[in-house]
Amino acid sequence: MGLIKDLGNLLFPEDLCLFCRDNEGIDKEYICRSCKEQVEFLHKEVDLDSPYVEKAYYSVFYNRFLKDHIHDFKYSGKSYLYKAFGHMLLSTIAYYNLEDEIHLISYVPMHRRKEALRGYNQARLLAEYLAKELDKPLLKKNLIKIRHTKDQNKLGKLGRQTNLIDSFKAVDSYQFEGKKILLIDDIITTGATIRECGKVLIEKGAREVYGLAITSSKKF
Ligand SMILES: [Zn+2]
């Protein structure tokens, strides 16, 4: 274990910025000053117009920096970015005192074939980080993607509205009945994903569902 940890530190030194791998990072934020200057916190509350989602938020403005690094996080194997992005989510949670509001943390699931291909689910990595930092239970296998769907950002408006219908399922509801759940996703495109997940959780007995993402490509 010691050797593996040392090796990990060699590959990913903890005092380097996770984004540029260059400048020295600052404390637990995992981001250097010059990268931080490119991150604009909004702590934005968005109206998803859904009876199943109590409230939804995202943390930072969707600019070039965010776009590129979220792309790396999802598609270039840079799974370790969950720490830096997770830290951004934590500051939004603190901003709204969500910690006092919610009982459980969950995340938008990926279809198992897609997750096997990618090797990880980036939303799950974020949710695991938050659960650990906030000392809240994580719902791991209660929300399932039962149908493979096209990426929301590759579809037109109409396609996005129908793409996700009946593609999620909630199971073992005794683990979340009557509870308030914080649902984590990486990015809000149209909000359809959080709406659909919220719907299946509420229909199976969750008390309230809150959504939280790093950023949003939609102007709300
Ligand atoms: Zn940096």
What's the confidence (pLDDT) of residue 140?
92
Q: What own/partner pairs with CB < 8 Å and gap ≥ 24 does 154-162 have?
A: 160/189, 160/190, 160/192, 161/190, 161/192
Residue 137 Cα to ligand 1 midpoint, Å, equals 32
Q: What's the gap in Å between 53 CA and the centre of ligand 1?
A: 35
Triad 207, 212, 213: Cα angle to 5°: 155
Cα of 8 vs centre of ligand 1, distance in Å, is 19
pLDDT in tens, 70-90: 999 999 999 999 999 999 999
Query: What is the structure's pLDDT at 7?
Result: 56
pLDDT for 154: 81
Distance 26 CA to ligand 1 centre (A): 10
pTM above 0.85, yes or no: yes
pLDDT at position 208: 98
State residue 1's pLDDT score: 45
- Could you tell me the residue ranges of all domains in the chain? 1-37, 41-82+89-216
- What residues are paired with 182 via a beta bridge? 105, 210
The CATH-assigned architecture of domain 41-82+89-216 is: 3-Layer(aba) Sandwich (3.40)
Q: Give distance in angstroms: CA of 72 to centre of ligand 1.
A: 14
Per-residue pLDDT tens for 144-182? 999 888 887 788 877 877 888 889 999 999 999 999 999
* Residues with pLDDT less than 70, the chain: 1-14, 25, 27
